[in-house]
Amino acid sequence: MVEHAEQLSTNSLALFRKSGDLDQGSHGTCCLQAKVWNSELLFTHQGSAEAVKELQERVFMEKAVENMMLQMSVLPPRELPILAGALPLYKNLKVLRISNSQVDCQGAEALSTVLTMSELHFNKLRISGDAVCKLALGLKGNSAVLKVALTE
């Protein structure tokens, strides 16, 4: 169970693809820069890595349950299976929007197994015909998805 939770945490945290500095002031507290890369968290101060990872996981889990809409953009193909792995954590998700992203067969197949939201919006995707077929198989007989929008 713990191993599964750690893997979910690592996969989910990989969705935080932003990198930034948090300046805590000049009271001897250092700047913290967190970067997610290859499912690995890197920190400027390794002593705080576990505490920050736990905080990020807790915040992610709280926000995932609250979210009714998720909008993702500029996803390379390798990140679609990661997104698919995190989607079950979004218990109240009604709308998923993916734009300006690349979808390969592996990503489409992974995504097709977790389509529980009522609306799916794809905008400006680069997707092969085979990947479209994989996604269509996930929609076939799916009673949860009520609206699919494909644009440009």
CB 44 within 8 A of CB 67: no
Token look-up 């990872």 returns: 53
Name the token pair of 68: 């009714």
Q: What is the pLDDT of residue 51?
A: 83
Mean pLDDT, contiguous 10-residue spans, the chain (152 residues) = 40 40 31 37 65 87 92 94 94 96 96 96 95 94 94 88
Question: Distance between CA 145 and CA 148 in Å, rounded?
Answer: 7
For residue 33, what are the β-bridge partners? 21
Tokens of 124: 């400006």
Q: Per-domain residue ranges for the chain?
A: 1-66, 68-152
Residue with tokens 């197994």: 113
Contact 76, 17 (CB under 8 A): no
